[in-house]
Amino acid sequence: NDTSFLSYDDSKNLLMMFFQYYTVETTTGTLEVHETYEDPTFIESPFRVNLIDSFGRLMKLLVHLEGICNNEAALAVDFEGVKLCRHGALCLVQMTCSDDPQLVYVLDVHVLGKRAFTMQTPQGTSMKALLEEQNIRKVWFDPRNDVDALYHQFGITPRGIFDLQLAEVANRRNRGLNVHFVQGLYKCLTQCPALQSEQKVFAERINTLGKSLFEPQNGGNYEIFRHRPLNPVILVYAAHDSRYMLVLYEQYVQSIGQRWVSRVLRAGDQRGRWCFSRDFVIPSPEAPDF
């Protein structure tokens, strides 16, 4: 019964105020909390979440990223907010790094504010610098609304974008198909051969449950992204999008070949310039030529 899945009750609400480390059990749909990252059940979990909602935690993350980010690293990034664009508040950043693809970092921008992007290590590493660095590959799924929010709210111009939505289009075109429209992330996940059936079932459940909390047409309210303590369902919904993006990335890169990868990167950076339009433009579902 989906109503009891990751149910939002007072006990979980209280836990969200004090804990940083979480694991998601996709077979049962449960969210577990951990006092430390050294907890063996945390270490062994295939779906771990690290909530970054203090500047101390953010500095530790930035120092870690500084050590792993080079030309070989890939960062999967995703964003959530209130009708996210230049006019809608950006509330969460979800990120998975190729050095540990089973761990999702969730940065609480609603709590940290603009310093979530501008805070620097002694060597000058910040989230803004990482997002703008052309040589660090950012794996995105349709960045258009996200970059619109990043540019107009935080002055960030992302570069080095590999757009999974365009890679999926390339994957179909590489097989000789005529492709007129893009697909959503959920559909891409359900078609991914690297995901087990239980993971695909979980993807459907968390997708439905999350949207029921924030989509007005499903009885939700986008303002839930601003509610603190963070609703545990929203935490898992946000983390889930990022958790499997690197899985899709590896699948598409192997499938489409280097020629298409280069074309996807060029087209991704074109989408990254979406924010430069004078007025906000609603992204089209039509598959572009690239």
pLDDT tens digit string along 15-47? 667 889 999 999 888 889 999 999 999 999 999
Q: Please give the backbone phi and psi of residue 10, each rounded to the nearest 5 degrees, phi first.
A: -65, -35
Closest residue by Cα to residue 188 from 208, 171, 205: 171
Is the pLDDT confidence value at 240 over 50?
yes
Provide φ and ψ at 113, rounded to 5°.
70, -155
Mean pLDDT of 224-248: 95
Domain ranges of the chain: 10-276
Percent of the chain residues topping a pLDDT of 90:
86
Torsion angle, alpha carbons of 136, 137, 139, 145, to 10: 70
pTM listed for this prediction:
0.94
* C-beta separation of 104 from 95 below 8 A: yes
Asked whether the predicted pLDDT for residue 270 surpasses 60, the reply is yes
Structure-token match 């690290």, residue found: 50
Question: Which CATH superfamily does the domain covering 10-276 fall into?
Answer: Ribonuclease H-like superfamily/Ribonuclease H (3.30.420.10)
Residue with tokens 């999350």: 210
User: For the CA atoms of the chain, what is the radius of gyration?
Assistant: 18
Report the alpha-carbon angle 28-245-67, nearest 5: 110
pLDDT of 57 over the 90 cut:
yes
